[in-house]
Amino acid sequence: MKKLLSFCLVALMPVSLVCSAEERSNNKKILFIAGPQSHQVGEHEHRAGCLLLIKALKESGLDVDTELYAMQKGDQHLWPQDENLFEEVDTAIVYADAAGRMDQKTLDRVQQAVDRGMGLMFIHYGVHPSVEVGEKYFMQWIGGYFNNDVSVNPHWFATLTPNSEHPVKNGIDKVEANDEWYYNMLFNAEHQVLASALVVPERITKYNNIWHQPGDDQFGKQVAIMWANKPKDENASRGVGFTGGHYHSNWAVDNFRKLVLNAIVWTAKIDVPENGVESKPLTVEDMNRNIDGFAPDAVIDQIAMPSLTLDTIKVDARPEDPANYMANKRKAREAAQRKKEAERKAKEQQ
């Protein structure tokens, strides 16, 4: 069953509390869309990550109401069918694989909301739609998207520098974390970079499934990690893309969390506080709540606090043939499968 959880400046808890229209009439409404479970514990924890952001917004003292729609495993990224889902929503935050795999009906509804000025933010795998959706919608909504022909998805220890001329920088000097930081997005000509990092091979901790020459060509350069569209006027939609968010533990990095919170409130057309959106430090217990695959009220003991230095993380070997990395990896995988099948057949014949 799909669940719609509503919060109105309430503590983090797996319950539904609804505010009256009168109570939230002057507040900005922020809608979170969380994708279903897709990875192992501690990775792509969409629902738990959204709940931590909701908790932080509650602690910020800002005049906001939040709602969370959490897709359940098996829903195939089925979006809410409520025709009024985006009504009065000031910004929608999508934290889901493959941009939430929106069907045309959902795309149309989001477009209608964007046309009236609703903000949008896509987090991590959320910035990776199909090429068709990316070109037609994401280019205008957030200014760019992950394109398999040019973008890459390595894990690396990045030091992010916020754009000094944009309010997302407020209260932040830098952000340091090991994450699956996608980079080399396909951008439109009018996007703006909100945070960037210098990518070098000495900081790559894992070359993932999408790697090719364009990724290798960016070594030694500043690459966009968070970016936005350029609204045409003060009433226009504000859209942001952010490539971090693979590891759930990174929400415990204060400036990582603050950068995202700053971007969220900016998309909602809220003035970002001078010191950024403040929230309480997160504990190990916080990081182990609301994890996919466990009871809603369970506190597990499987997610550790993040490592904040590169010294404790193993660096991966740079691919010798980046242009053919994916093809070579596929061939190696197929060869391993053939070997395994041959060994199985040989064992059966003994």
Residue 5 is predicted with a pLDDT of 45
Reported confidence tier of residue 25, pLDDT bands at 50, 70, 90: low
> Is 194 in a helix, a strand, or coil?
strand
Are 193 and 304 part of one and the same domain?
yes
Q: What is the CATH number of the domain that holds 9?
A: 3.40.50.880
- For residues 202 and 348, membership in a common domain is answered with no
344 in the same domain as 208: no
Lowest-confidence region among 73-77, 151-155, 209-213, 262-266: 73-77
Structure tokens at 98: 């493959």
Tell me how many domains the chain contains: 2
Total Cβ atoms within 10 A of residue 117: 16
User: Out of 19-33, 44-58, 126-140, 228-242, which region has the weakest mean confidence (pLDDT)?
Assistant: 19-33
Within this chain, do residues 304 and 344 fall inside the same structural domain, yes or no? no
Domain that holds residue 277: 3-319
What residues have CB less than 8 Å from 263, skipping those under 6 apart?
Answer: 121, 168, 194, 226, 228, 240, 242
Three-state SS for 239? strand
What are the pLDDT digits (tens) for 292-350?
Answer: 999 988 999 999 999 888 888 899 999 999 989 998 888 888 888 888 888 888 888 87
pLDDT tens digit string along 137-191?
999 999 999 999 999 999 999 999 999 999 999 999 999 999 999 999 999 999 9
The pLDDT value given to residue 319? 92
Same domain, 289 and 347: no
Give the separation between CA 88 and CA 95, rounded to whole angstroms: 20
Q: Is the pLDDT of residue 9 over 60?
A: no
Same domain as 315, residue 332: no
Structure tokens at 174: 């830098």
As a whole number of angstroms, the distance between CA 50 and CA 70 comes to 9
**Least confidently predicted of 77-91, 101-115, 135-149, 215-229:** 77-91
Same domain flag for 39 and 187 = yes
Q: Are residues 280 and 191 in the same domain?
A: yes
Same domain (yes/no): 345, 302: no
Say how far residue 20 (Cα) sits from the centre of its chain: 30
The amino acid at residue 103 is D
Residues 35 and 132 in one domain: yes
**Is 294 in the same domain as 311?**
yes
User: Tokens representing 13?
Assistant: 């808890």
* pLDDT-derived band at 81, boundaries 50, 70, 90: confident
* Residue 9 φ/ψ region, left for φ over 0, alpha for ψ in the -120 to 50 degree band, beta for the rest: left
In a shared domain, residues 298 and 178:
yes
What's the whole-model pTM score? 0.90
Instruction: Report residue 47's pLDDT band, with 50, 70 and 90 as the boundaries.
Output: very high
